[in-house]
Amino acid sequence: MVTPPATVRPEPVRPAGTGGSDPSGRTPGSGDHRPVNQNENRKQAQSRGNGCVVFLAICLILVGVFFLTAKLTGTQLFGGTGITPSTVRREPLPAGSVNETGYYTDTLGWIGNEERLLQGMRYFYEKTGVQPYLYITDSVNGSHFPSQADLEDFAEGLYDRLFTDEAHLLLVFFEYGGYYMTRGITGVQAKTVIDSEAGDILLDYLDRYYYNENLSDEEYFSKAFHDAADRIMTVHRSPWIPVFITIGVGIVMVTAYAWWTQAQARKEEEARRTEEILKTPLERFGNIEAEELAKKYENMDGGAPPAQPGDKPAGGTDDKSPGDPGDTTGDSGTKPDDSGPKGTGPGGTGSEDPGPAGV
């Protein structure tokens, strides 16, 4: 007898979109969504606001570092265009180096306020230890149109006539018909302070203030000597020095800020996860375990799979071929019963029924 295949229990079909249900009776997908946390939104907005404040603070600090560095290094950031920078540290001449004389000769009658003129020239003397002398003229050796070489020869001869030391600075200022030239002669000892760079600084200030109509003649020369003295005796660094220092400080601050923001973000993320865990009901953890157990027992209760062609019947019986001992059927029909009447033959009576074989 062949055992019929075991009945396979079909899996229940869940309607699409329902998402199933858990043992607690709640529908996952309908009530598992966490509502929007208003506090979290406020925290994010506050974090962005704090970031803007920190960024502005960094910018202000960098600007302050830039100007402070420029001041400490003696860098003139504004208003120094066109003036030769002073790149050498200079020491004033020692006291007693100068055989003091007057401060100017005015052949054109320009100087009306002598004290105003002398204020700047005395300041130059105090700062550098070199006494300046101004010679104003409109002719050189009787000519109103001298060359640069003529003016230089005239200034050198004038120095020897006016001074008995090598600690003076002679400035010859020539002007005629709206055209002017300047020439400076420095004594040998004075050149240790008023070198070629320092001389260019003085001439640059004379050129700058020449077209300033707000200055009188006395103020023009006085201001040129005064400002030149300050610049000559101060080392002016490259303007790139404060720029590089500011960039370096900025890199350090930005790097520190980036590290701080990342650390804050990690702390906030950890706090958020902790808050979610604390807010999750304990029943939820039990529901998750129940779902896992339900899936496990559902798989165990599924039964044996359907029988496939060629599989052995249930019960462990083997098929036997015709003719094997114990086989009760054959291809030719039913085996005759030995206990029944026998047909005709030696020792027997009756007739044989020649019925069809193999019925």
Q: What is the pLDDT of residues 17-37, one digit of tens each?
A: 444 444 444 444 444 444 545
Q: Please check whether residue 331 lies inside any domain of the structure.
A: no
At 72, the pLDDT band (50, 70, 90 cuts) reads low
Q: Which of 114-123, 187-196, 237-246, 316-325 has the lowest mean pLDDT?
A: 316-325
CB atoms within 10 A of CB 85: 18
Do residues 49 and 145 both lie within one domain? no
End position of a domain, from candidates 299, 316, 345: 299
The number of domains in the chain is: 2
Name the more confident of 155 and 78.
155
Whether residues 139 and 227 fall in one domain = yes
**pTM exceeds 0.75:** no
Give yes or no: residues 197 and 245 share one domain.
Answer: no
- Domain shared by 121 and 225, yes or no: yes
- Judge contact between 183 and 149, C-beta under 8 A: no
Quick one: residue 292, left, alpha or beta (phi over 0 = left, psi -120 to 50 = alpha)?
alpha
**Structure letter (DSSP) for residue 147:** -
Whether 292 has a pLDDT exceeding 50, the answer reads: yes
Specify whether 212 is located in the same domain as 127. Answer: yes
pLDDT at 151 over 70: yes
Give 129's pLDDT tier (boundaries 50, 70, 90): very high
Structural domain that includes position 51: 42-75+238-299
39-53, 108-122, 165-179: the lowest-pLDDT one: 39-53
Q: Which of the listed residues 209, 232, 255 is the one where a domain comes to its end?
A: 232
Long-range contacts of 117-122 (CB under 8 A, 24+ apart): 117/218, 117/221, 117/222, 118/222, 119/222, 119/226, 120/221, 120/222, 120/223, 120/224, 120/225, 120/226, 121/221, 121/222, 121/225
What pLDDT does residue 28 have?
45
